[in-house]
Amino acid sequence: MEKAVPMDARQLGYTMCRDSLGGVWAEIDENQFEITPLSGGLTNYLYVCSLPSEVQAPDNQPRSVLLRVYGDIATSSSFVVQNSVIFALMSEKGLGPKLYGMNPKARIEALLPANCLQTVDLHNSTISRQIAEKLALFHSLDMPLCKEPRFLNKTMDDWSVKVRDTLRRTCSRDEETYMQKFRNYHLEEELETLKLILSLVDSPVVFSHNDLQEGNILYTKEENAMTVIDWEYCSYNYRGYDFGNHFIEWCYNYQVEEDPKFKVNLDNYPSRQQQEEFFRAYLRTLDRDITDDLLQLMYVEANTFVLASHFFWGLWSILQNNMSTIEFGFLEYAESRLDAYFLFKDRLPSEIVERLNQHRQLKHSTV
């Protein structure tokens, strides 16, 4: 059964298409305007806007476009401005969909004739190498944004305060089980531990996607063409975050009909060999020498910053439970990501464990 489109989304889509596309889009009435929901987004609300079949469009105008309505968690003024700048620049560089129009609530972009990858595709060695190549090119971009890697810590700081407030509120009996578990995690204290762990990693700062999961990668098999999309969370960040965040997405499948709308299998986390194949493709794209020391460095980056991915999306999901109307098990997802955080924390690379122990010993000796 097709989901109903909220009236405000329909009106927003009609107005934006009329004003931004003009031409035949400005000539149709709202009752002729066609809009259908598109599944797949977990932050934003996606819709396909189309001309009615009886209306002919000239070659220079699209018959259908994608309307992306920003979710509540992504509507702060700074978030919208940066996202709009990034999207416009990527569109201009030909690295993403064409931009047709935007405002503080939404944007209209080209509807690309390609399908998103599936989780299982990430395990395909050929596709994985292509993703690594795309990521390398992405990381080499010079964007007119703050080059300091503030996004990760600042966002987690802001969200942890909001989560603390959320955990203090009265909730339903079903939600309380999750909330009590999250309280027992002592998330604000744990965030400080995470920051310490990340500070022990030598990871270069690059322009990062920060959400490189299969749903954000379009692929056309016939043309062997791949496009990375959805740059809502892009920023300058530590390279290891993009590695770790992508690798853990090998374990999560979001194309699930039954509740909670996702499945997880941590046994699908890429092996050391699979990770190194990814790193080699990445380095070859950048014309870098491939050495054992560099591969080890990248392995440490990825498998330490994966903790940040778990924590980041765990906080995000707790907040989304109260803010989003998207059908998704946000509390179940938050539980899954935070449980995995502590599991992967016990599996940290030996170099990081050693540095962490040295730091604690030094701190203890100075007390």
CATH number at residue 282: 3.90.1200.10
Helix (H), strand (E) at residue 48:
strand 45-50
Q: For residue 211, what is the DSSP state?
A: -
Q: Of 82, 110, 138, at which residue does a domain stop?
A: 110
Residue-level pLDDT at 1: 46
Which amino acid does the sequence have at 39?
S
Q: What is the pLDDT of residue 5?
A: 92
Cβ atoms of 223 and 121 within 8 Å: the answer is no
Residues in contact with 189: Cβ distance below 8 Å, sequence separation at least 6, in sequence order? none
Residues 180 and 94 in one domain: no
CA 93 to chain centre: 21
Largest CA distance in the chain: 79
Pairing label, strands 45-50, 115-116: unpaired
Asked whether residue 2 is domain-assigned, the answer is no
Choosing from 55, 89, 110, the residue where a domain stops is 110
Looking at the fold, whether 180 and 207 belong to one and the same domain comes out as yes
- 19 and 59 in a single domain? The answer is yes
Residue 301 lies in a domain: yes
144 and 202, same domain (yes or no): yes
Euclidean distance between CA atoms 351 and 361, whole angstroms: 15
231 and 194, same structural domain? yes
Task: List the pLDDT tens digit at each of the 367 positions of the chain.
Answer: 457 899 999 999 999 999 999 999 999 999 999 999 998 788 899 999 999 999 999 989 999 999 999 988 777 777 788 888 899 999 988 888 999 999 999 999 999 988 999 999 999 999 999 999 999 999 999 999 999 999 999 999 999 999 999 999 888 989 999 999 999 999 999 999 999 999 999 999 999 999 999 999 999 988 889 999 999 899 999 999 999 999 999 999 999 999 999 999 999 999 999 999 999 999 999 999 999 999 999 999 999 999 999 999 999 999 999 999 999 999 999 999 999 999 999 999 999 999 999 998 887 776 5
In a domain, 1, yes or no: no
C-alpha R_g of the chain: 22
Residues 240 and 254 in one domain: yes
Tokens 């405002």 sit on residue? 103
Spatial separation of the C-alpha atoms in residues 270 and 258, rounded to whole Å: 26
Residue at 321 is within a domain: yes
**Contact 315/187 with Cβ under 8 angstroms?**
yes
Answer yes or no: is 91 within a domain: yes
DSSP string, 50-116: E--TTS---TTS-SEEEEEEPPGGG-SHHHHHHHHHHHHHHHHTTSSPPEEEE-SSEEEEE--S-EE
Please calculate the CA angle 8-22-84 and round it to the nearest 5 degrees: 65
In 10 A of CB 92, how many CB atoms? 11
Residue 57's contacts (CB-CB under 8 Å, 6 or more residues apart) are 23, 24, 51, 63
Supply the pLDDT for residue 367.
Answer: 57
Of 110, 145, 172, the residue at which a domain comes to its end is: 110
List, in order, residues 6 or more apart from 203 with CB less than 8 Å away.
Answer: 238, 239, 240, 241, 301, 305
Whether residue 94 sits in one domain with residue 18? yes
Contact 21, 101 (CB under 8 A): yes
Query: Does a structural domain hold residue 275?
Result: yes
Number of structural domains in the chain: 2
CATH of the domain at 79: 3.30.200.20
Same domain as 131, residue 106: no
Range of the domain at 192: 115-365
CA-CA-CA-CA torsion sign (175, 176, 177, 179): positive
Pair (120, 72) in one structural domain: no
Instruction: For residue 245, give both structure tokens.
Output: 């965040």
- Structural domain includes residue 249: yes
Residues 208 and 251 grouped into a single domain:
yes
For residues 147 and 163, state if they share a domain: yes
Residue 41 lies in a domain: yes
CB atoms within 10 A of CB 119: 21
User: Same structural domain for residues 152 and 187?
Assistant: yes
Q: Are 131 and 212 in contact (CB under 8 A)?
A: yes
Residue 246 burial (10 A CB sphere; 0-12, 13-18, 19+): buried
Give the per-residue pLDDT at 203: 98
Which tokens hold the place of 68? Answer: 């992306």
